A and B are shown apart, each in its own frame.
Chain A
Amino acid sequence: MRYTLHVNGQDRSVDLDGDTPLLWVLRDALELKGTKFGCGAGLCGACTVHLDGHAVRSCQTPVSDVGKSAVTTIEGIGETAIGARLQKAWLDVDVVQCGYCQAGQIMSAAELLAQGHVPSDEAITAAMNGNICRCATYTRIRQAIKRAASPSFASAAARK
């Protein structure tokens, strides 16, 4: 089957089975290696991408379900204001350890931040609990999300 996907602002055509998970379409067919495989079962969040701004597990999303939705991956999220803010906050707080889970973390955080206010601890836990980090960067992710969400950081990042 031929599918035309709208990925990070570009139309990309692929020819494969409709039940192929979007994760493998991105990684293997489109050579977008930033999205990671962790479990293939919706249990770790490493494969999180956006469909029309909503975080989904790409390992659980057959390519046939994507339709006309805009797919955004870690390679593209930095082009959005929220993504850029998050990446900067992540650097400032030095969130990362091995980095393997971090694409998924940023994608989940980006959906949370799109709500437009500084999230509470509970809201952060609820939004991020499905993104497992074995290096346990959780405390710093929390800090970085709050930092990226704060209005002063947003305007400072915009000036840059």
Chain B
Amino acid sequence: MSAELRPKIIGARVRRVEDPRLLTGGGAFADDLGTPGALHVAFRRSDHPHARIVGIDCAAARAMPGIRAIFTGEDLDGLVKPILATSRMRNYHPTPIPVLARGKVRYVGEPVVAILGESRYLAEDALEAMEIAYEPLGDVVDPEQAALPGAPLLHEAAGSNILVSREFSRGDVDLVMAEAFVRVGGRFRFHRKTPVAMENRTYVAEYDRGRNFLTLTSSTQVPGIVRDALVALLDMPGHSVRVVAQDVGGGFGGKTSLYPEEVLVCALARKLKTNVRWTSDRLEDLISTSQAFDEIIDAELALARDGTILALAADVTGDVGAYSIYPWTAGIEPVQVVSFLPGPYRIDTYRGRVRAVATSKPPMGPYRGVGRPVSTFVIERLIDMAARRLAIDPVALRRHNFVSGDDFPYKVVTGLVWDHSSFREGLDEACRAIGYDALRSEQRRAREAGRWFGIGIASYAELTGIGSRISAAPGMPINTGTETASIRIDSTGTVTASFGITSTGQGLETTLSQVVAQTLGVRIEDVRIIQGDSSAVAHSTGSYASRSTVLAGGAATLAARAVREKVLRAAAHILEAPLEDLDAADGAIFVVGTDRSITFRDLARAVYSEMGRLPKDTREELEATKVYDPYFGTTSSATHIVTLDIDPETYKIRLHRYLVGEDCGRVVNPLIVEGQVHGGVAQGIGAALHEEVVFDASGQILTASLADYTIPAAGDIPPIEVVHIEAEAPSTIGGYRGMGEGGTIGAPAAIANAISDALAPLGIEITELPVTPERLFQLVRQAQAKAAKEQGSS
């Protein structure tokens, strides 16, 4: 078989290997694990936003049927340490997160008491019998108020509610601004979101008392991080702690952090020498899973008459909630906003200031896109505002300012580096695919007919597959830059490829099988992927930051290559052919240009089982373990284009067309890439139009059910067209770029631009997301009142 005739597995629309089990009820999600005799935890959570705990009376609860133990924060002393997210960042105050509240509570939903019952029902029944007395402390709800000197403090030891502050600066921004031809800007607001994976967080700790061995089955995205943290917090040897994430029902970042409940079930399983489990209900998910994207951004952009960007300035206040989350810290989201704000544009003069302010709300953590949905919303709005002022087409203004051609590799003022990327090509291709010029004609006709019809564009760049040069969160003392693959051919000739990285539902088992099968020369069905198991390899973190295909795919390629070399060496002996004449594909090794071949099965038997087939000192184990570190990481980029109509009666927004032109490098499986783009865009649509976590002035959460926090349903999502642009291969192994988050990064900006475009005749610029019908109604009313007043006075 010649190289051209060989089946191509990488790049093919291969059906997912996970699906047969997931479609027949055979998946293994954490809560599906049977643990006869396990104790079930129910948490009594704080109903106060900020209060001192005066007293806890457990006596009545303890006497209830089926209650086996009750723990408060004090009872955990000596069993488990508080969680602490450290960082080398300057101007950072870490905040210890107690596994159960100690002394005071800092948000509604914080776990205060753990009740262990023989069933979840019994444990929950006893919750009501607990008495907790609180003494309210001052409100710490509005982040701008909380940042003022003299504000009540959430963490006295930090000395301030400002947990992180940072500034990026180059050039004399004020001078350039003062002299610029045009300046656009304003105050932008991106309201708080929550990831809402359909599978609630679930932690099942099994304790083997004979071997002092702890197994945590978790719905986590990061089994490796959790294992390492548990070892430190519980002071156990690492070989006696195993964290497993089998099928995970979506994560989107919400399952990338270490949670108190996760640590608690482990500490208590060990203490009580039994199995302990907890599954969140939806209310608990909505009030205690990490939340996201809560920023106020004052931003301004200065341009020359020809549209050249001269300077950008921004002040960002991030509302990071009650604690600095582990391991990412309170910096992860807001710092990312200022570091990505310059976008894919050439901007030499920039000042970006950020502060992360603690408030009595659930902790902020990573959510799909991290910072960049917000930064893209702001910069892409500024570009469109400038285009309108300068009467330049928004496509042309973007093209004019993109980093392009010889600019690459381009170092952004904030230190990010864009490797060779196709920003312009991506925009052009997206415009061509959607028929941009025709859309503008359609818009003219729609306007003449009195319709509010808008076209929105958003372009962005993101850093994916980040290697060891920088941490995925600023200054974090955890290596997020490598992944490991361990590949073995056993004595029956089948392949097991083991990873610590975990699939959270993105089809990673399939992607990795494709990479391993093609690199080794076997069929997909010959490969079994073990993933999401901290004991599979020496070190791993998990699935986040659009890194899985780049890092685990790279490690898989390296390990598979090494195993293949061993396979070919053994085959050379058996087939009595020179090494360079051998090739492997489709489960067999063959001498190129002849009909001589041997299957992997027969070869494995020869190597392992048939004594004497190979000279003693040439016999090698057919296995290899390799680490991949892409060092810098690579740039992924995309342009989103959306068209929509606003109903002038109901202010409802109807999306018509949605197109994504994206460059994620070499595509391993187009089906999977499209699935990820669809999912990301839908979450971006939710962020733009529907979703908002709302608190009242005292810090009580008002969106604690799926009726109040509404995520997109079937009728809310238009068909999404995806155009792949594989312009220039990046230098990562395999040529992959990450793409799990991009959809969510582009959509809020594109939709905000389309709404502003639809309402341009009224002079409305969208600066606040989500754009609910109520907000839109107010904007239109204000604009009409202003227009009427101006007419009256002229």
Contacts and interface: CB of A to CB of B under 8 A. Distances in A.
B415 interface: no
A106 B200 contact: no
B15 A94 contact: yes
A99 B672 CA distance: 13
Contact of B23 (A99, A139, A140): A99
Contacts of A135: 198, 250, 505, 675, 679
Contact of B706 (A102, A125, A132, A140): A132
A107 to B, nearest CB: 11
B26 A132 contact: no
A73 interface: yes
Interface stretch (B27-35, B392-400, B435-443, B660-668): B27-35
Contacts of A147: none
B16 to A, nearest CB: 6
B357 interface: no
A133 B23 contact: no
B25 A34 contact: yes
B505 A87 contact: no
Contact of A31 (B26, B34, B196): B34
Interface in A53-69: none
Contact of A38 (B282, B675, B717): B282
Given A43-B706, A139-B678, A102 B714 contact: no
A136 B282 contact: no
Given A74-B24, A94-B15, A139 B719 contact: yes
Among B13, B24, B34, B198, max chain A CB count under 10 A is at B198
Contact of A90 (B19, B31, B252): B19
Interface in B499-516: 504-507
Given A75-B24, A94-B19, A101 B198 contact: yes
Given A97-B679, A98-B248, A98-B249, A43 B19 contact: no
A98 B720 CA distance: 19
A100 interface: yes
A131 interface: yes
A27 to B, nearest CB: 8
A89 B713 CA distance: 21
B505 A98 contact: yes
B752 interface: no
A91 interface: yes
Contacts of B714: 124-125, 128-129, 131, 133, 138, 141-142
A44 B198 contact: yes
A36 B504 CA distance: 16
B614 interface: no
B683 A136 contact: yes
B18 interface: yes
B76 interface: no
B707 interface: yes
A102 to B, nearest CB: 6
B671 interface: yes
Q: How large is the interface on B (under 10, 10 to 19, 20 to 34, 35 or more residues)?
A: 35 or more
B22 interface: yes
B347 interface: no
A132 B671 CA distance: 21
Given A90-B19, A100-B199, A136 B24 contact: no
A131 B13 CA distance: 27
B247 interface: yes
Nearest to A142: B714
Contact of A43 (B25, B679, B707): B707
A134 interface: yes
A100 B200 CA distance: 10
A91 B23 contact: yes
Given A35-B25, A43-B707, A90-B23, A137 B675 contact: yes
A158 to B, nearest CB: 19
A14 interface: no
Interface in A87-132: 87, 90-92, 94-103, 106, 124-125, 128-132
A133 B198 contact: yes
B705 A97 contact: no
Given A99-B22, A132-B711, A132-B713, A39 B249 contact: no
Contact of B675 (A41, A124, A140): A140
A82 interface: no
A41 B23 contact: no
Interface string B411-431: 000000000000000000000
A39 B505 contact: no
A106 B23 contact: yes
A134 B248 CA distance: 13
A33 interface: yes
Contact of B247 (A75, A98, A141): A98
A9 B507 CA distance: 33
A96 B198 contact: no
Interface string A74-87: 11001000000001
Contact of B711 (A98, A129, A134): A134
A108 to B, nearest CB: 10
Interface in B706-729: 706-707, 711-715, 717, 719-720
A99 B25 contact: no
B198 A100 contact: yes
Contact of A98 (B195, B250, B671, B672): B250
B110 to A, nearest CB: 22
A46 B198 contact: yes
B25 A38 contact: no
Given A98-B247, A125-B714, A135-B250, A91 B20 contact: yes
Contacts of B16: 94, 96
Nearest to A88: B23
B549 to A, nearest CB: 15
Contacts of A70: none
A31 B31 CA distance: 12
Contacts of B247: 98-99
B193 to A, nearest CB: 12
A96 B678 contact: no
Contacts of A41: 282, 705-707
A157 interface: no
B250 A134 contact: yes
Contact of A99 (B13, B505, B720): B505
B31 A37 contact: yes
Given A41-B282, A133-B198, A139-B719, A96 B23 contact: yes
B97 interface: no
B706 A39 contact: yes
B25 A103 contact: yes
B675 A87 contact: no
B219 to A, nearest CB: 10
A154 interface: no
11 contacts: A39-B705, A94-B672, A99-B18, A99-B27, A99-B505, A129-B714, A129-B715, A132-B198, A134-B196, A134-B252, A140-B678
The 6 closest A-B pairs by CB, nearest first: A34-B25, A98-B505, A100-B249, A136-B682, A99-B22, A33-B32
Interface of B: 13, 15-16, 18-20, 22-27, 29, 31-32, 34, 195-200, 247-250, 252, 279, 281-282, 504-507, 671-672, 675-676, 678-679, 681-683, 705-707, 711-715, 717, 719-720
Interface of A: 31-41, 43-44, 46, 73-75, 78, 87, 90-92, 94-103, 106, 124-125, 128-142
Given A43-B707, A74-B25, A136-B712, 9 more contacts: A32-B25, A34-B26, A37-B31, A40-B281, A91-B23, A98-B504, A100-B29, A137-B675, A138-B678
